[in-house]
Each structure stands twice: as structure tokens, then as C-alpha cells.
Amino acid sequence: MRRLILALAAAGVTALPAAAQNVQQRLPVCLACHGSNGQSQTDGVPSLGAQQPFYTTVQLLMFRERMRVADPMNEMAKGLSDDDLRSFADIIAKLPAPKPPEGPVDDARMTRARALVDQNRCNFCHTPNFAGQDNVPRIADQREDYLVKALRGYKDNSRHGYDTAMADVIAPITDEQILDLAYYIARVR
């Protein structure tokens, strides 16, 4: 299914010359993977609802400039103007915030992870309700698999932030702790 969506996305990009595509025309292609209601149903693809516009603008810029490499986003961001990036960011910020998954919650794991959150001050930059601020993204109720991927990317240096904040905090965090943190953040209310 994901491969099909990616193929469609790629087709959407190449079917029209970049200049002929405005933000509204491209948006359905984005939301096909990221979810039209702010909530992604696609493995490994983040929910974008209520994301901080400064953060989104910077990430789109990094995709466009290939400072962050992630298929198919580099292709998707090709040819976008600075104003396009800002427009996408503003539209995405107005999508509803994602919701935590249904189902039972492992209380012991939540407690363990909360201690890690406090210890590593995730709730400082990301704010106490994890809604983010400025260049610091909303992470509350993000997809768990994406959070694991993002944290592992910072850990093994395959993902560079626009600044070094995540590299600084991730250094002492183990992979086991990454799994707990992602579990918690994906379910936080």
C-alpha cells in the first residue's frame, strides 16, 4: 500500500511542471500519505496536524536543499519557492492535532518513560504538553513508529537537525529508552 502511495506521489510530482503547481494543487498529494485530518495512517510517515509552522518551514527547506534526505520528500519539495514552503507550513498548522491510539496503555511503561522525559527535559523545549514552540516540533501523539525512526536518526547521526539540540540530548539515551520515550509521547494527553 505504501509503495502504491509513494508511486502516486511521485507521479503527482512529475505529471505537472513545478511552475504550474501551486500549494493547493500539491496539497492532496502530501495528505495522501500524511493524512487529510492531520493524522497519518501510513507506516513511518509523520502526522502533521497542528505542527509548528516555523519547524515545518525549516524541514521543507531542508528537504528542498537536500540537507535532510528522506524519500520521497526531497522530490516533493523540489522547485518550491520560499513562499510555498511558508504556505504549506501555515496550512499544516491549521490541521487538527493528531490523537493518541486507542487500546490499553501499559502503565508501568508510561511511568518509566515519564521519568526519562523529566530526566532529559523533553518537556522544556517541546513544552509541558509537547505542542512544541518555534523551531521545536509538536511531538504529542505523533506516530510511535515515526518517533522511533526520528530518535534513532538523531542518535546515529543520519538525521541532522537545523540546530544541535536533539544531538545534544540524544547522546546518552539508549535504544531501549528510545522505544519507551516513543511509546509515551505517542500516547500522551
What are the residues binding other proteins (CB under 8 A)?
Answer: 53-54, 57-58, 61, 65-67, 82, 85-86, 90, 100, 105, 107, 110-111, 114, 118-119, 121, 123-125, 127-129, 133-136, 157, 160-165, 167-168, 171, 187-189
For the CB of residue 8, give the shortest distance to other proteins in the complex, in Å.
29
Rounded Cα distance, 111 and 165, in Å: 25
Q: Which residue, among 143, 20, 8, has the nearest Cα to 72 in the 3D structure?
A: 8
Q: Which is nearer to other proteins, 36 or 111 (CB)?
A: 111
Q: Which is nearer to other proteins, 43 or 65 (CB)?
A: 65
For the CB of residue 182, give the shortest distance to other proteins in the complex, in Å.
15
For the CB of residue 56, give the shortest distance to other proteins in the complex, in Å.
10
Rounded Cα distance, 137 and 130, in Å: 8
Looking at residue 77, its amino acid is A
Rounded Cα distance, 36 and 135, in Å: 23
Q: Which is nearer to other proteins, 6 or 167 (CB)?
A: 167
Q: Are 29 and 76 in contact (CB under 8 A)?
A: yes
C-alpha cell belonging to residue 49: 496536524
Q: Which is nearer to other proteins, 42 or 142 (CB)?
A: 142
Question: E strands along the chain, which residues?
Answer: none
For the CB of residue 66, give the shortest distance to other proteins in the complex, in Å.
8
